[in-house]
Amino acid sequence: MELFIIFISAAIVNNFVLAYFLGICPFVGVSNKLSSATSMGMATTFVMVITAIVSWLLYNLVLIPYNLAFLQIPSFILVIASLVQFVEMVIKKVSQPLYRALGIFLPLITTNCAILGLALFGSMREYSFLENVIFGLGAGAGFTLALVIMAGIREELDLADVPKPFQGAPITLIVAGILALAFMGFAGMI
Amino acid sequence: MNKVVQMLLVLTSIGIISGGLLAVVSGWADPLIAANQKAATEAAIFRVKPEGKKYEQIKNAGFELYKVMNENDQNSGYALVYQGNGFSGKIRLIAGLSEDLNNISAIEVLDQVETPGLGTKIVEEPFTSQFLKLETSPKIDWVKGEKPDKPNEIQTITGATISSKAVVAILNDGISRLKKLRESGGLK
Amino acid sequence: MKKQVTLSKEFLKGVWDNNPVLKQLLGLCPTLAVTVSAINGLAMGLAATFVLVMASLLISTIRKIIPPQVRIASFIVIIATFVTIVDLVMKAKFPDLSKALGPFIPLIVVNCVILGRQEAFASKNNPGRAFLDAIGMGAGFTIALLVLGGIREIIGSRTFFGLQIMPDQFEPWLIMILPAGAFLTLGLLLGAVNVYADRKKRLEHESLVAHYKRVGREELIEELEVK
């Protein structure tokens, strides 16, 4: 039950993009096409789950026992950067189609604050290992959901008559605001 | 070859210098951070138990619990820190209790992420002052949209019923655990 | 050889022409997340400015000994070090502010403004210029956050820096301090900036046309060539 609450909370109620503003850069940048939004969402979810596993192990088995909590930020970001590189190499070796689908998005993920945010939130909330993995999965699902909904809306928006100064980023942010408002309706589910 | 050596050298020295620098800074900051946290807890304990002069933590309670002593060094009750789910996340609060655990002296919400302007009213007056002298047995109860008429009832906030009910539920949970602890003799 | 810009321009470009938030759309996560009040916006802006200035100074000083293959990794470690220092100092000296900003101080590490300036500017220029560039970008970032935080605080909770400035009759718009309000305010602000920039461009264009009508074609071409 607790695990289910963590998943729903991270995916919908406290959506990373719409409630915590994490991962706004790819959200504004990649959300103009439905197909690329789906791929980006899946690549991010994948990296998030691995990050949840590795950052938990690093924090609880190395940093805490050796009293090195002050190295948390540099070590997390380095681990995430090398992890993304590693995942890219493995995917390239193992599956060419998957690499073509996700490949170009992987380098972008390193600078996605949602990933570092996930690692930091996980250690701040003192989740257990399993809880942290579920949290990563939920956050990834929520990110994908927000990205896909947004991409769907923006494809329609291309046909709409938006005033010139508001074209591009401004109207995207305003739509995101309305979406955030809609997601507030999910509050109280947990 | 030379290039690889230079790469390794630069990265390693940057790593060592930054690690060393951070060790120094955190050596300076950690005691201050710990002192801040202790001062914040202490201030909260004495706000919910205003007559308290000294306190000590009951270590083997299984949750955060403090025994509060008055100026004559007599036990004057307990301060209980407990948390649970609110409307959009965890609510963590501290409650001051009389020695027999039948009355609340005051409560204070320590952490919450409720809806700004609605759920966040659980932190403020007049909601919190309803808990002054509130009776805890058989359990705390709530009424909606009318004035409470029993000594163990509070009125929920309009527009923030779930947050208000969450506070009551967290208190009931914490107090029932505390009562069980007393029955098993853990408060000695 | 690239034309050298004046030192004051190096500073001013970050404040308006290339404002990181309003023009380049960088660093939006902290911009949206912490600006529920003016003080939070200011604190976040200053913390990011400190990191940006220190990292730019250091990186431009040692730019010649960092091999290009490991430059990004070096930048990230240096930035992360300064961010941790800010985080620890804030926790030790300003616990309330640190609690309000929550995990967004550590997230300065992945703020694209900071890494972007290292890659685009500090690693190619001397410390003096890098310092001015960092101060300018930091100021632009801080101003944008302060404006956004100010607007949201005034309309959303009737106060500015904690002081009530709107009358009691004004019912605060709760939406402004909710996440949705952050998106809406920034969207409208960006739109307003675009309207202003478009108008300025149009006015410049019109004055050029008027000038052309006055002086004739040949003279105008000569003038432009001199410029």
Chain C partners of B21 at a C-beta cutoff of 8 Å? 81, 85
CB contact under 8 A, A170 and C87: no
State the smallest CA–CA distance between residue A54 and chain B in angstroms: 20
Nearest-CA distance A64 → chain B (Å): 14
- Contact by Cβ (8 Å): A73, C84: yes
Residue B40's pLDDT is: 87
Residue C62 near residue C56, CB atoms below 8 Å: no
- What's the total number of domains in chain A? 1
Q: Are A148 and A34 in contact (CB under 8 A)?
A: yes
| A71 contacts on B by Cβ (under 8 Å) | 19, 22
pLDDT of residue B157: 86
> Would you state the pLDDT for residue C2?
46
State which residues form the domain around A89.
19-183
Edge-to-edge strand ranges of the sheet holding B75-85? B54-57, B64-69, B75-85, B90-97, B104-111
- Chain B residues closer than 8 Å to A188 by CB: 87-88, 162
pLDDT computed for residue C81 by the predictor: 92
> In Å, what is the CA distance from C168 to each residue of A24, A109, A183, B125, C158?
36, 46, 30, 18, 8
Structure tokens at A83: 């992890």
The answer to whether residue C224 sits within a structural domain is no
Structural domain contains residue A190: no
Residue A140 makes CB contacts below 8 A (sequence gap 6+) with: A41, A44, A45, A46, A48, A49
Nearest CA among B177, B178, B143 for reference residue B161? B143
Q: What would the pLDDT profile of A43-83 be if each residue is shown by its tens digit?
A: 889 889 999 999 999 999 988 888 888 888 888 888 888 88
Does residue B1 register a pLDDT over 70?
Answer: no
Predicted local distance difference test score (pLDDT) of residue C150: 92
Residue C1 has pLDDT above 50, yes or no: no
CB within 8 Å: B29 and C67: no
Q: How confident is the model over C81-87, as a mean pLDDT?
A: 92
Kindly state the average pLDDT of the residues C68-79.
85
Q: Number of structural domains, chain C?
A: 1
Put simply, whether C65 touches B (Cβ < 8 Å) is yes
Q: Is C166 on the interface with A (CB under 8 A)?
A: no
Is residue C220 a part of any domain in this protein? no
The token pair that represents C5 in the structure block:
């810009």
Is there a domain that residue C208 lies in? no
With respect to residue A13, please indicate whether it lies within any of the assigned structural domains: no
Q: Please report whether residue C18 resides in a domain.
A: yes
* Confidence at B47, pLDDT banded by 50, 70, 90: confident
The boundaries of the domain holding residue C27 are 7-199
For the entire predicted model, the pTM comes to 0.83
Q: Angle of helix A72-94 relative to helix A113-124, nearest 10 degrees?
A: 130
Chain A to chain B Cβ contacts (< 8 Å):
26
Residue with tokens 């609880």: A60
In a domain, C70, yes or no: yes
**Mean pLDDT, residues C8-35:** 81
Q: Residue B25: its chain C contacts at CB < 8 A?
A: 84-85, 88-89
Cβ distance of B33 and C92 shorter than 8 Å: yes
Which DSSP string corresponds to B85-130?
Answer: E-SSSEEEEEEEE-TTSSBEEEEEEEE--PPTTTGGGGGSTTTGGG
Q: Which DSSP letter does residue B178 get? A: H
Residue A188 belongs to some domain of the structure: no
* A14·B89 Cβ contact <8 A: yes
For residue A109, list chain C residues with Cβ-Cβ distance below 8 A: none
Per the prediction, chain A carries an average pLDDT of 84
Contact A89, A98 (CB under 8 A): no
Q: What is the mean pLDDT of residues C119-131?
A: 88
Of chain B, the percentage scoring pLDDT greater than 90 comes to 2
Residue A6 lies in a domain: no
